């Protein structure tokens, strides 16, 4: 009896291990493709492979990808996240070399379908296209900024703007580090820069999402 | 019973959602849109057909006392295989359905069919039964998802036909319960008329 | 402070039954009478907390070190099934009266997706209580599991109370049984929506 159950477990595990071995590579390829797609979406046209690196801002490590065209740096695709309504919202934010946000895309989110989950739709997300943080204010209109919040989803909209803001802080840290080193090898090594005000602000989550 | 009847009985007469009222958790949780509902239905169909076949093939060799744990292990193995396949080939759907993919293991429909049908019948018949019940489940979830999407978001299968928002509550939790209640009533009415 | 946030969030805001849709089968199945609802809630409470503790330890001390995280689903469901069986045996020996109260619900709990759901949630999801997204540690996981099961109990008992009242009233024929229960659940879920934004 026990032997039989043991046999069932053994066969099942063997089968699982086999399928795991077979699908391991496609899963990695799918994940890589997803990252590459996200990068291609948020930065202007580039050639060659994006160079992966991390930078530390205010004690937290942020992964980013540097892209260049014909040897000249085009910009960075920066991964940043903030606390939304249903959990973390992770974005890929593309910032060009003139410190203008080229585009943003959502890597993962767990917002309410029909409400906060609309942050992936162009109606909201396109507001961040070609956004110049020097010209416009990166917060929702309710807080005196220039971003139209999603209907009934202020927390999500705030979180999105916050993540983009964090990405700008990360960009500043990257370019500061790059100006200290030779421009050619700016993409190596982890650099520590302290930037204020990029932790998530938890004080006013009082209204509906 | 013929093979064809085995498949069709799951669609109406023994529809798992509207008649047997099984597997309510994924039914309510994943039907925020027609596409999500259909994906969940197809994922369950995949597990159901394979586990039905495996259980019907192994049933004669498994002692009665350890039957349930053995079935659970077999089902869990197929669910994990499904997880790998979805991660590799449909990562977006995998992310949307999230926790409810591993939770297929405890979907009462799957274990229910193993107990009620697969362990007493042949492999081919069990596959047909799984296919029928799985299709019934898929159709039910797609309809529920479609209704909620139309009412809640003003779109069908992702195509928006009214501008602006719909009745948001239908995409949220209360709308799920409400839409399912009315669909069950409607289904009862329609099938009762047919029976007369 | 963080623990209070976890508790309020798990009981009211993200109620496992009314906003996460886990454990709907017992929610609809055994909520006809208040007394059975209380018994079921007690049993679920006990099993969810215990199962989360064991699966959490198993994940971080067995699966992760051995790099066999892909065995997660299969391992967790086996642990839960074994635990439920063990609780049943121990309860029968140690406290026959408690066994009589909870015993009949125990076999049903293995296939209650709330149990597996919570166990998987604490090892796969990132939580955002108190700022930065992070994985829960052991103490937080236990608090989260316990609070979630309290939320299950609260919704279950409220719902059973409502259904006892409904049973005394005349319901349109087509709505008898499950449909009217679902409509009731819908209104209860609407009431719980009022808690959203609290945490």
Alpha-helical runs (H) found in chain A: 2-42, 122-125, 154-180
Interface of B with C in 125-154 (CB under 8 A): none
The 8-class DSSP code of residue C61 comes to I
- Residue A111 distance to chain B (closest CA, Å): 11
Among A16, A206, A209, the residue with its CB nearest the CB of C71 is A16
d(CA A33, CA A23): 15
| Chain A residues with CB-CB distance to B84 below 8 A | 19-20, 23, 27
**What range defines the domain where residue B84 resides?**
3-195
Taking one residue from B and the other from C, the number of pairs with CB-CB distance under 8 angstroms is 112
C138 dihedral zone (left: phi>0; alpha: psi -120 to 50; beta): alpha
**Which residues of chain B fall below pLDDT 70?**
1, 194-196
Domain boundaries, chain C: 2-193
Summarize pLDDT for C136-178 with one digit per residue, the tens. 888 889 999 999 999 999 999 999 999 999 888 888 888 888 8
Q: Kindly determine whether residue A87 and residue C125, on different chains, have CB atoms separated by under 8 Å.
A: yes
Q: Kindly determine whether residue B171 and residue A115, on different chains, have CB atoms separated by under 8 Å.
A: yes
| Chain B residues with CB-CB distance to A31 below 8 A | 91
Quick one: pLDDT band at residue A208, thresholds 50, 70, 90? very low
Among A13, A88, A202, the residue with its CB nearest the CB of C133 is A88
Alpha-helical runs (H) found in A93-153: 122-125
Q: Kindly determine whether residue B171 and residue A114, on different chains, have CB atoms separated by under 8 Å.
A: yes
Burial class (CB in 10 A: 0-12, 13-18, 19+), B23: buried
Query: How many CA atoms are closer than 13 Å to the CA of B151, on its beta-carbon side?
Result: 16
Summarize pLDDT for A60-117 with one digit per residue, the tens. 788 888 888 887 888 889 988 888 887 788 899 999 888 888 999 998 888 877 778 8
The 8-class DSSP code of residue B98 comes to G
The 8-class DSSP code of residue A80 comes to E
Summarize pLDDT for B27-44 with one digit per residue, the tens. 999 998 899 999 999 999
d(CA A40, CA A42): 6
Interface of C with A in 76-105 (CB under 8 A): 78
Q: How many domains does chain B have?
A: 1
DSSP of C102-122, one letter per residue?
HGGGHHHHTT-HHHHHHHHHH
- Residue A108 distance to chain B (closest CA, Å): 8
Q: Kindly determine whether residue C121 and residue B99, on different chains, have CB atoms separated by under 8 Å.
A: yes
Query: How many CA atoms are closer than 13 Å to the CA of A71, on its beta-carbon side?
Result: 1
- How many other CB atoms sit within 10 Å of the CB of residue B61? 10
Place of tokens 């026990």: A2
d(CA B117, CA B7): 13
Summarize pLDDT for A102-111 with one digit per residue, the tens. 999 998 888 8
Quick one: pLDDT band at residue C130, thresholds 50, 70, 90? low
Parallel, antiparallel or unpaired: strands B155-156 and B159-160: antiparallel
The reply to whether C24 touches chain B by the CB within 8 Å rule is yes
The pair of structure tokens assigned to C4 is 């209070």
Place of tokens 């917060």: A139
- Residue B5 distance to chain C (closest CA, Å): 27
d(CA B144, CA B38): 10
């Amino acid at each position: 009896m026990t032997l039989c159950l043991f046999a069932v477990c053994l066969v099942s595990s063997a089968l699982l291990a086999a399928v795991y071995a077979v699908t391991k590579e496609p899963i990695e390829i799918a994940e890589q493709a997803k990252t590459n797609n996200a990068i291609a979406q948020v930065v202007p046209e580039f050639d060659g492979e994006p160079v992966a690196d991390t930078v530390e801002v205010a004690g937290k490590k942020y992964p980013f990808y540097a892209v260049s065209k014909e040897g000249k740096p085009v910009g960075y695709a920066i991964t940043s996240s903030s606390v939304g309504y249903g959990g973390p919202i992770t974005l890929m934010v593309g910032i060009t070399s003139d410190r203008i946000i080229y585009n943003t895309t959502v890597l993962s989110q767990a917002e309410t379908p029909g409400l906060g989950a609309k942050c992936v739709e162009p109606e909201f997300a396109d507001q961040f296209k070609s956004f110049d943080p020097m010209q416009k204010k990166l917060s929702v209109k309710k807080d005196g900024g220039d971003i139209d919040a999603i209907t009934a989803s202020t927390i999500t909209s705030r979180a999105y703007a916050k993540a983009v803001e964090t990405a700008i802080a990360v960009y500043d840290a990257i370019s500061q580090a790059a100006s200290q080193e030779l421009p050619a090898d700016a993409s190596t090594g982890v650099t520590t820069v302290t930037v204020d005000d990029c932790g998530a602000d938890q004080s006013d989550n009082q209204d509906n999402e | 019973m013929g093979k064809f009847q085995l498949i069709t009985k799951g669609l109406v007469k023994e529809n798992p959602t509207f008649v047997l009222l099984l597997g309510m958790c994924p039914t309510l949780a994943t039907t925020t849109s027609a596409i999500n509902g259909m994906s969940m239905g197809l994922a369950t169909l995949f597990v159901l057909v394979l586990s039905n076949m495996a259980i019907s093939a192994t049933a004669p060799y498994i002692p009665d006392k350890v039957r349930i744990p053995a079935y659970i292990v077999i089902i869990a193995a197929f669910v994990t295989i499904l997880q790998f396949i979805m991660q590799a080939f449909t990562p977006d759907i995998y992310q949307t359905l999230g926790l409810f993919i591993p939770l297929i293991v405890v979907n009462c429909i799957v274990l229910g069919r193993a107990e009620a049908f697969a362990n007493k019948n042949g492999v081919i018949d069990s596959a047909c039964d799984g296919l029928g019940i799985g299709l019934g489940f898929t159709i039910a979830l797609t309809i529920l998802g479609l209704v909620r999407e139309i009412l809640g978001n003003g779109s069908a299968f992702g195509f928006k036909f009214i501008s602006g928002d719909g009745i948001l509550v239908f995409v949220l939790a209360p709308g799920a319960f409400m839409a399912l209640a009315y669909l069950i009533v409607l289904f009862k009415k329609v099938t009762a008329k047919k029976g007369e | 402070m963080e623990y209070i946030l976890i508790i309020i969030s798990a009981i009211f805001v993200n109620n496992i039954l009314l906003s996460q849709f886990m454990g709907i089968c017992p929610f609809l199945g055994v909520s006809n009478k208040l007394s059975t609802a209380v018994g079921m809630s007690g049993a679920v409470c006990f099993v969810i907390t215990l199962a989360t503790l064991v699966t959490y330890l198993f994940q971080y001390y067995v699966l992760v070190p051995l790099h066999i995280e892909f065995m997660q689903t299969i391992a967790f469901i086996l642990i839960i099934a074994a635990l439920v069986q063990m609780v049943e045996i121990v309860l029968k020996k140690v406290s026959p009266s408690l066994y009589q109260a909870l015993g009949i619900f125990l076999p049903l709990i293995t296939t209650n997706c709330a149990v597996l759901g919570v166990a998987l949630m604490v090892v796969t999801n990132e939580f955002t209580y108190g700022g930065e997204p992070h994985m829960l540690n052991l103490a937080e996981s236990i608090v989260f599991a316990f609070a979630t099961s309290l939320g299950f109990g609260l919704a279950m008992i409220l719902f059973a109370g409502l259904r006892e009242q409904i049973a005394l009233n005349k319901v349109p024929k087509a709505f008898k049984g499950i449909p009217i229960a679902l409509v009731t659940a819908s209104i209860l879920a609407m009431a719980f929506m009022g808690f959203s934004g609290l945490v």
